[in-house]
Amino acid sequence: MALDVAVSPEELKALLETGFLFRERKELDKAEEVFAGVIALRPDLEIAHLGLANIAHAKGEVERAEGLFRKMTELFPQSALAFGQLGEFLHTQGKKDAAVEALNKAISLDPSGPHGEAAKAIKALVDEGVEYNYAVS
């Protein structure tokens, strides 16, 4: 549910920057609160959903994080960023087949753009059997 509050682009940018600042400071609960608030104001803002999913992953809430990444692909079905992030997350969880599927979707949505190129790089890691975890530490 979106809140019926007018927020300027500058205010949204400041809120998002605050969320990322809290994340960098490892104040994950505060970051989560900010990203959830931004989503309440602007549920169509993909970067806020990404921030929330990344915070859940950083907190070790793996099932919740996966659900949030998957929700991004439902909310933004034409977003190579959403599918690439889901694929990368699934790779960190050892879910190779699902990761490749999501990464291939990202590549098909943005074959020569930045998100498609990032998905190709992650897919190469999956194919080579390289394991890693990108969670905020």
Q: How many residues does the chain have?
A: 137
Mean pLDDT of 27-41: 97
Mean pLDDT of 24-44: 96
Residue-level pLDDT at 114:
97
What is the Cα–Cα distance from 92 to 10, expressed in whole angstroms? 34
Sign of the torsion formed by the C-alpha atoms of 12, 76, 118 and 63: positive
Mean pLDDT of 29-57: 97
Residue 88 near residue 134 (C-beta atoms within 8 A) = yes
Mean pLDDT of 49-55: 97
Please name the residue that has the structure tokens 């190779």. Answer: 96
Task: Provide the angle, in degrees to the nearest 10, between the axes of the packed helices 114-128 and 96-109.
Answer: 150
pLDDT of 101 over the 90 cut:
yes
Mean pLDDT of 9-34: 97
Mean pLDDT of 92-116: 97
Residue-level pLDDT at 4:
72
Predicted confidence band of residue 131 (pLDDT cuts 50, 70, 90): confident
Residue 1 near residue 40 (C-beta atoms within 8 A) = yes
Residue 100 near residue 124 (C-beta atoms within 8 A) = no
Residue-level pLDDT at 134:
60
Instruction: Please report, rounded to a whole number, the percentage of residues in the chain having pLDDT higher than 90.
Output: 88
Residue 105 near residue 28 (C-beta atoms within 8 A) = no
